Structure 1
Amino acid sequence: MKEDNRAAADQAAKIIPIQWDATFFFERAVRSMDRYHYDKALKYFRLAVEYEPENPVNHCNLAGILSEMGQYEESNRILVEILETLDPLMTECFFYMANNFANMEQYEKAERSLLRYLEEDEEGHYLDDAEEMMELLQYELKRPSKIVTIKARQGFAEHDQARVMLEEGKFAQAVKLLESIVESNGEFMAARNNLALAYYYMGRFDRAMEAIKQALEQEEGNLHALCNLAIFYQHANDQENLVALADQLRRMVPFHQEHVFKLATTMGILGEHECALRHFRRLLKDGSGERDASLYHYAAVAAVHSDRLAEAEQLWQQAARRDPKSDVARYYLEQLAQAREGSQKLAASYHYHLPFEEQFRMWERLPGTMPDGMKSNPLVRSSFFWALRHGDRKTKLQVIQALGLIADSEVQEALKALLLEPEEDDDLKRLALFVLRSIGVSEPVPAVLGGKRKLVGSVADSAAAADRLPDWEPVWQRVLDTAFLRMGNEYGLLQQYDLMKLWLDYLTRVYPDVPKLAKPESWSAALEYLTAKHHRRAVSYQEVAERYGASAATVSKHAKRIDEICGVKE
């Protein structure tokens, strides 16, 4: 008897109780589907719903097996119920419904459901399938579908637009767009990286460093972010962090061509030219960008800095053949020949354009103009914005003039920002105001002048003379307008500004005993003569008088009077 009891106990111990729950029936259903036993799968999915009626996934699985069995209407009824009562955020249900409607040849309804999916689904798991289905529906309906915003791709089109802005040097516009993208999609790493670069190009270094560190908190191994951080460390002369990061980058061997190119250019900028050359060779060897002259230029520069002059020559020759309209390769081939003769040392830049020194020589020869290549080059524009924030006074004067020749919305924003810098020199701000007026900004602009914030509207305001010149006479303005018109492109904005300052200084000193200006043109000519002399230009009273239709004697008289009052020669 004891043995029977023991046997019964052993038997009981071997019995494993079955846990009847939704997971159990789900697994049975999946096993039945794998064996194409759809009736059994349907039964098990229904049981899973009974055990967990509040779980929308169970209902969705049930709708799925019904669709597989051709019961499309019942499947859609369940999908609608999920969206209306269980989980409105389960937007993939719209995609499943579109499939069911398409199988029932109800193409209008299928299109409406598919558009809802594209508009509302954030994840985009079925995005490729949805786009294929849209092509099918367009064929069946014999018309294009309504254009919608694809939520799963929200930010991608905007990001492409922001990248174009960066390439065009429209940094302020790019920042605004990238900030909005990052705010709505914090995991968009490319947008975070480009936002950091946009800040950097504008000279907002602290914001750039903050943005790149936020990107690395999001994804610590992101190669683009690490490369950007290395450039920022180099700018900040943070050698301790730069050495460690450069060593980490030196050991990396990326696979994707985009990453190889980013790493190669970064190592070149960091002065790791041997490493840069290895990566550029990889890109040239696998055919990536073999028709792109700039890639041959980058490799040539790395070769020069690695003392491989023969290789550099071959690479620049390749670049010249692929981009015959560009002067870059020809310029460096000439410099290379001179370096070999020992007449000068070759200084090669990774930037694919003529060195800034060459471009500025062209600009200085024509003070009232700027070569189109300089205006549109984002690197040139970036250097101007950098200098406006971090340069010395002389550099800032030159940059403000240059920005006046570019004269676009980016320039306006940069100059307006300068006006609000409390530590900036007032005279630089007045020049910035003058440039803003000269490029068509007519409305009053806020500025901090004399330590006080004010709205600056008129020419007199812009020279901080409003307190002493309460009335601004039209004839005074005519003197300035005539001078600016006749000076034309022969003078730069700085010379025009100096002329305006001189005129306002004279009016302020003699006010209220301003002489009657019977012939304003002669006063304009006198102002140009004095301005030209101040800037060491060879000019005579006769020459200036003829251009203004005035007598040399009158121009001389006015010039001497202005000099007596203002002490120009002193």
Structure 2
Amino acid sequence: MSENHNGSYDPHNVIPIEMTANFFFDRAVRALDRYQYDKALKYFRKAVEYEPDNPVNHCNMAGILSETGDYTASNEVLRHILEQVDPSMTECYFYMANNYANMEQYEKAEEALITYLEEDPNGQFLDEAEEMMELLQHELSRPAKPSRIKSREGMVEHERARELLEEGKFAQAVKLLEEIVSEHPDFLAARNNLALAYYYMGRFDTAKRTIGDALEQEPGNLHGLCNLAIFYQHEGNTQMRDKLMDMLSVTVPFHMEHVFKLATTMGILGQHEIAYRHFRRLLTDEGFNGDPSLYHYTAAAASNSGRYEAAEKYWRQAAKLDPESVIPPFYLMQLQQMRKMGSDQIKVSYHYHLPFDEQLKHLELDGERLTQEARQNPLIRSSFFWALRHGDPQTKLQVIRTLELIADEEVRHALLSFLQEPGEPPELKHAARLALQQMETAASRLQERSEEREPAVRSREVLPDWLPEWKEVLVKAAENKEKGTDPYWEKELEHLWSDYLSRQYPNIPNIRNTEGWAAALAYLVAKRRGRAVTYQQAAAQYGVSPSTVSRYARQIHNVCDPEPSSDDRFHPFTEKI
């Protein structure tokens, strides 16, 4: 309020307070921070009045009622959500089960818990639900098992795919996740991780379509919304990014996995204050606070928001937990240089690896060490794959030369996919072909040395030319190749088919349905190259049934693709179930 020239107050200069749901939400969160539950409940009620169709506001109110011991009122709110606001919020059944258990109404708790397990597709509270089920069995003195657990459909396969993703084996992860999504279209965690796998491989458009499919099924899926916000930022769609960011910035997840996802997302989006708050919350959790990468994320958020002393503290802790890593010392040195130069800011990535330019410098100084790190650290690998897709020509050339040193199956797939890109300069494709040739030559020499050392255990190589039907499979598979496919396509078909025959020898099955085997062979090679092909498409191309393609493809896959070992040191932004 201000005075006019006569010294009196002018009511037209009063700035009105905009009363919105977000306004009361902020007030409620502040009250919660001060443990003022009565005020928090009052403000959450007001938020519900302003946005009665927003289930999050209702859930917040139910949570406060439960915290204050009013379990009956909390369940009334949760029941209202399920019946009137958003029936898809199946986690409300889990909250209701907790409330009933606290009231010692174990029969009703069991009923709500079984409903949660049978209806919830994501399994967000699956571990907690199983623990509660054990408690209820004890209290009721009888077993209580649900007929099915919806969130576990495809769960084992999804966990394996997530491990592959965390190991940096993106092509293999994509292959498995595509199969899971095909068989379980409503498996949203698998869709979200499939989108991430595409994203890490640089297949941005496919990643965005995949996340769109997930959000079409569940518009409020937190992992999907976080991924979509990052995708919008990547393509420069600031309007849609900011709209999503406004919603995410007022979200306060209960589950720590969701807190981690939201924290990393807000950091990547440049909302460092919010990211810092969430990361600090994670550091109080015993399940997270032993991970050096989390201290790096917290340090990055601190540094990016100007808290340099805090950043130094967190990087020093990361260095203690991971003494062999060059990452904490690098950023500590950056801080020191910043202070010497009088600069007021350094830009820090939230990924737990060196900046890409710095990786290339290290490659020049110690190529062997960085190559070994790239083989083991999927984030470093993903940065190379990303640069191969989206870097400038000089960077792409450096990446191709680096990938030649890494020389594993994922690299081979990445380079083969690169050759399929229509807009890449001929000189870069030539460099990629040379790299593939060098990798193949090196692998052949290694194989020859191995055979010389161990002639007694050498497996016999079986060639498709030995029998007409074996040769016919290869010929038919190559005949239906896509237009514009380079010569490596036929070579890979021959390599895979020969590998299968050699591994099966002398117990090679009778090859009668040559079209079916050819379709399966072409399907697997396409999948290895990152193509989005289905059994139905391969079947139509070769005039066989999808089940035939699936059966033969699985036979070849089971023989030729042994299970790789797991490495649980890396914890990226995948979605667990």
TM-score (norm. length: structure 1): 0.50
Q: Structure 1: which amino acid aligns with 2:265?
A: T
The secondary structure found in structure 1 opposite 2:383 is helix
Q: Distance in 1 between matches of 2:297 and 2:283?
A: 11
Asked whether the equivalents of residues 175 and 198 of structure 1 are also in contact (C-alpha less than 8 Å), the reply is yes
Q: Structure 1: which amino acid aligns with 2:405?
A: L
Q: Structure 2: which amino acid aligns with 1:419?
A: L
Q: Distance in 1 between matches of 2:176 and 2:427?
A: 33
Residue equivalent to 1:546: none
Larger radius of gyration: 1
Asked whether the equivalents of residues 122 and 189 of structure 2 are also in contact (C-alpha less than 8 Å), the reply is no
The CA deviation at 1:386 is 2.1
The CA deviation at 1:438 is 1.4
Asked whether the equivalents of residues 234 and 242 of structure 1 are also in contact (C-alpha less than 8 Å), the reply is yes
The CA deviation at 1:366 is 5.3
The CA deviation at 1:217 is 0.9
Residue equivalent to 1:437: 437
CA change 1:314–1:219 in 2 (3 A) is same
Q: Distance in 2 between matches of 1:206 and 1:155?
A: 26
CA change 1:372–1:343 in 2 (3 A) is farther
Asked whether the equivalents of residues 375 and 381 of structure 2 are also in contact (C-alpha less than 8 Å), the reply is yes
Which has the larger displacement, 189-198 or 322-331? 322-331
CA change 1:123–1:438 in 2 (3 A) is closer
Percent identical: 55
Residue equivalent to 2:350: 350
Q: Write out per-residue CA displacement over residues 183-221 of structure 1, whole angstroms, 9 at most, x where no aligned residue.
A: 111121110100001111111111101000110111111
The CA deviation at 1:152 is 8.0
The secondary structure found in structure 2 opposite 1:438 is helix
The secondary structure found in structure 1 opposite 2:487 is strand
The CA deviation at 1:321 is 2.5
The 5-angstrom pairing of residues 19-34 of structure 1 reads none
Q: Distance in 1 between matches of 2:414 and 2:275?
A: 35
CA change 1:290–1:388 in 2 (3 A) is closer
Residue equivalent to 2:487: 455
The CA deviation at 1:362 is 1.9
Residue equivalent to 1:378: 378
Residue equivalent to 1:503: none
Asked whether the equivalents of residues 349 and 355 of structure 2 are also in contact (C-alpha less than 8 Å), the reply is yes
Q: Distance in 2 between matches of 1:123 and 1:382?
A: 27
The secondary structure found in structure 2 opposite 1:303 is helix
Q: Distance in 1 between matches of 2:163 and 2:183?
A: 20
Residue equivalent to 1:289: 288
Residue equivalent to 2:197: 198
The CA deviation at 1:369 is 7.7
Residue equivalent to 1:254: 253
Residue equivalent to 2:237: 238
Q: Write out per-residue CA displacement over residues 424-453 of structure 1, whole angstroms, 9 at most, x where no aligned residue.
A: 33332222222212112789999xxxx965
Asked whether the equivalents of residues 203 and 385 of structure 1 are also in contact (C-alpha less than 8 Å), the reply is yes
Residue equivalent to 1:315: 314
Residue equivalent to 1:362: 362
Q: Structure 1: which amino acid aligns with 2:170?
A: F
Matched residues, number: 316
CA change 1:154–1:285 in 2 (3 A) is closer
Asked whether the equivalents of residues 371 and 406 of structure 2 are also in contact (C-alpha less than 8 Å), the reply is no
The CA deviation at 1:236 is 0.5
Residue equivalent to 1:78: none
CA change 1:359–1:393 in 2 (3 A) is closer
CA change 1:255–1:365 in 2 (3 A) is same
The CA deviation at 1:298 is 1.1
The CA deviation at 1:128 is 7.3
The CA deviation at 1:367 is 6.2
Q: Structure 2: which amino acid aligns with 1:319?
A: A
CA change 1:303–1:206 in 2 (3 A) is same
The CA deviation at 1:282 is 1.3
The 5-angstrom pairing of residues 148-187 of structure 1 reads 153-187=152-186
The CA deviation at 1:384 is 2.1
2:437 is the alignment partner of 1:405? no
Which has the larger displacement, 395-404 or 251-260? 395-404
The CA deviation at 1:255 is 0.6
Asked whether the equivalents of residues 277 and 299 of structure 1 are also in contact (C-alpha less than 8 Å), the reply is yes
The CA deviation at 1:154 is 4.2
The CA deviation at 1:151 is 10
Q: Distance in 1 between matches of 2:130 and 2:301?
A: 42
Q: Distance in 1 between matches of 2:287 and 2:358?
A: 31
Q: Distance in 1 between matches of 2:428 and 2:403?
A: 13
CA change 1:276–1:320 in 2 (3 A) is same
Q: Distance in 1 between matches of 2:366 and 2:319?
A: 28
The CA deviation at 1:333 is 2.1
Asked which structure has the greater RCO (Cα within 8 Å, sep 6+), the reply is 2
Residue equivalent to 2:555: none
Q: Distance in 2 between matches of 1:267 and 1:452?
A: 42
CA change 1:434–1:304 in 2 (3 A) is same
Asked whether the equivalents of residues 369 and 405 of structure 1 are also in contact (C-alpha less than 8 Å), the reply is no
Residue equivalent to 2:187: 188
Q: Structure 2: which amino acid aligns with 1:361?
A: K
TM-score (norm. length: structure 2): 0.50
Residue equivalent to 2:61: none
Q: Structure 2: which amino acid aligns with 1:194?
A: N
Q: Structure 2: which amino acid aligns with 1:187?
A: D
CA change 1:308–1:436 in 2 (3 A) is same
The CA deviation at 1:346 is 3.1
Q: Structure 2: which amino acid aligns with 1:393?
A: P
Gaps of 5+ in 2: 1-120, 135-148, 445-462, 464-473, 492-577
The secondary structure found in structure 2 opposite 1:181 is helix
2:276 is the alignment partner of 1:277? yes
Q: Distance in 1 between matches of 2:175 and 2:490?
A: 30
The secondary structure found in structure 2 opposite 1:439 is helix
Q: Distance in 1 between matches of 2:374 and 2:168?
A: 11
Asked whether the equivalents of residues 370 and 405 of structure 1 are also in contact (C-alpha less than 8 Å), the reply is no
The secondary structure found in structure 2 opposite 1:169 is coil
CA change 1:399–1:253 in 2 (3 A) is same
Q: Write out per-residue CA displacement over residues 463-509 of structure 1, whole angstroms, 9 at most, x where no aligned residue.
A: xxxxxxxxxxxxxxxxxxxxxxxxxxxxxxxxxxxxxxxxxxxxxxx
CA change 1:457–1:304 in 2 (3 A) is closer
CA change 1:329–1:388 in 2 (3 A) is closer
Gaps of 5+ in 1: 1-121, 133-149, 460-570
Asked whether the equivalents of residues 327 and 354 of structure 2 are also in contact (C-alpha less than 8 Å), the reply is yes
The 5-angstrom pairing of residues 299-338 of structure 1 reads 299-338=298-337
The secondary structure found in structure 2 opposite 1:371 is helix
The CA deviation at 1:327 is 2.7
The secondary structure found in structure 1 opposite 2:168 is coil
Q: Write out per-residue CA displacement over residues 330-357 of structure 1, whole angstroms, 9 at most, x where no aligned residue.
A: 2222222222222655332212223333
Q: Structure 2: which amino acid aligns with 1:347?
A: K
Asked whether the equivalents of residues 353 and 379 of structure 2 are also in contact (C-alpha less than 8 Å), the reply is no
The CA deviation at 1:289 is 1.6
